[in-house]
Amino acid sequence: MTKRVFSAFTASGHLTLGNFLGAMLPAVRLQDEADCVYAVADLHALTVKHDPARLRARTREMATMLLACGLDRSLVYIQSQVPAHTALAFLLESTAYFGEMRRMIQFKEKSAKQEEVRLSLLTYPALMAADILLHRAHFIPVGEDQRQHVELTRDLAIRFNRLYGETFTVPEAVHPPVAARVMDLTVPTSKMSKSDGSAAGTIYLLDPPADIHRKIMRAVTDTGTEVRYDPQDKPGVSNLLAMLAACSGQPVESLVYDGYGALKRDTAEAVVETLRPLQERHAELSSDQAELSRILAAGAERAADRTAGLMAAAREAIGLS
């Protein structure tokens, strides 16, 4: 049986090298062996303070980037253009417990940083579960930070199936072997993030080569001069080694360096060369906005068709008429 794959990217900022190595590159590779669907999660971006015009622009930029990085062989669409996502989310909110939502690490971390916490920040893992379950996905390529949300999705699917009869496929997260958690270059103990990091510590996929070189050459390294992969004791150096391994395709153990300078130069070069084709394709696709709108509208229509059966089954199982 062909395996089904789904993943989504929140339109909360410009995509980063963390998003690329943690989820986009694995997603591209899965296309050869599975039926893949990828979405821009614009609804997830409403869970924190946002600017409407900026959200609209970022949603399109992100969709363009997903197509540019090679996912144009998959079904790509915008989450809010398929109403079944929010319809199924309510059925899953009605399956989830307040206690388990409150325990989500992302909720704890993000809510601690804000004065006015939107209710959707608490409940959005049910929407994420709906995104995944709607497509009856077997595998979810995601970075390490999303492990807990995929676990919750599995719990909700199992609970719903037990209470109302076999409806959902129970999915599994797949993480890349290296660079599953790319760290901020200036604070290598924090995750590289689109909305929550420093510009100096974050490599954005559309950064010009000179910016990438500068950010990597200034990356915080660890005390001592030894180059060794040890994320616990040497988080800065290990982050560079993981980025270099993921971009060059070489195993991390094979990367041998005498000092930090050469490691930084090679890492910067590898990142620039990895992003170059993606940036070129992004420029081409961006020059035809009408074509982009057509691709996304067709994607949303196909996604709505593909998910209608599952949505009907979930409604029937839970007792809606």
For residues 192 and 188, give the distance between their C-alpha atoms in angstroms, rounded to a whole number.
8
Please select the residue that binds ligand AQP; options are 12, 79, 153, 239, rule is CB under 6 A: 12
Q: Please tell me whether residue 265 adopts helix, strand or coil conformation.
A: helix
The C-alpha torsion from 99 through 104 and 137 to 40, rounded to 10°, is: 130
Q: Which of residues 129-148 bind ligand AQP (CB under 6 A)?
A: 142-143, 145-146
x/- string (CB under 6 A) for ligand AQP, residues 193-222? xxxx--------------------------
| Among 144, 141, 150, residue whose Cα is nearest residue 170 | 150
Told to check if 191 binds ligand AQP by CB under 6 A, we report yes
Catalytic residue among 191, 215, 234, 264: 191
Catalytic residue among 194, 215, 234, 264: 194
Residue among 19 and 307 whose Cβ is closer to ligand AQP: 19
Told to check if 155 binds ligand AQP by CB under 6 A, we report no
Told to check if 10 binds ligand AQP by CB under 6 A, we report yes
Q: Are 189 and 235 in contact (CB under 8 A)?
A: yes
Told to check if 171 binds ligand AQP by CB under 6 A, we report no
Catalytic residue among 3, 49, 108, 110: 110
Residue among 241 and 314 whose Cβ is closer to ligand AQP: 241
Q: Are 63 and 292 in contact (CB under 8 A)?
A: yes
- How many residues sit close enough to ligand AQP to count as binding (CB under 6 A)? 24
Residue among 7 and 123 whose Cβ is closer to ligand AQP: 7
DSSP assignment of 224-250 equals SS-----TTT-HHHHHHHHHHHHHH--
Residue with tokens 């929140």: 10
Residue among 167 and 215 whose Cβ is closer to ligand AQP: 215
Q: Please tell me whether residue 65 adopts helix, strand or coil conformation.
A: helix
Residue among 142 and 241 whose Cβ is closer to ligand AQP: 142
Told to check if 19 binds ligand AQP by CB under 6 A, we report yes
Q: How far is the CB of 71 from ligand AQP (least distance, A)?
A: 13
Told to check if 84 binds ligand AQP by CB under 6 A, we report no
What phi, psi does 299 have (nearest 5°)?
-60, -45
User: 45-65 burial string, b = 16+ CB within 10 Å, else e?
Assistant: bbbbebeeeeeeebbbbbbbb
Residue among 192 and 270 whose Cβ is closer to ligand AQP: 192
Q: How far is the CB of 190 from ligand AQP (least distance, A)?
A: 9
Told to check if 13 binds ligand AQP by CB under 6 A, we report yes
For residues 12 and 78, give the distance between their C-alpha atoms in angstroms, rounded to a whole number.
14
| Among 62, 67, 78, 79, residue whose Cα is nearest residue 28 | 67
For residues 59 and 45, give the distance between their C-alpha atoms in angstroms, rounded to a whole number.
9
Q: Is 110 a catalytic residue?
A: yes
Q: How many residues appear in the chain?
A: 321
Told to check if 182 binds ligand AQP by CB under 6 A, we report yes
Question: Which residues, in sequence order, are CB contacts of 17 under 8 Å at separation 6+?
Answer: 182, 192, 202, 203, 204, 205, 243, 271, 275
What is the token pair recorded at 144? 């390490």
Residue with tokens 């076999």: 166
Q: Which of residues 49-78 bind ligand AQP (CB under 6 A)?
A: none
Told to check if 151 binds ligand AQP by CB under 6 A, we report no
Q: Is 3 a catalytic residue?
A: no
Residues that bind ligand AQP (CB under 6 A): 7, 9-10, 12-13, 16, 18-19, 21-23, 142-143, 145-146, 180-182, 191-196
Residues forming the active site: 110, 191, 194
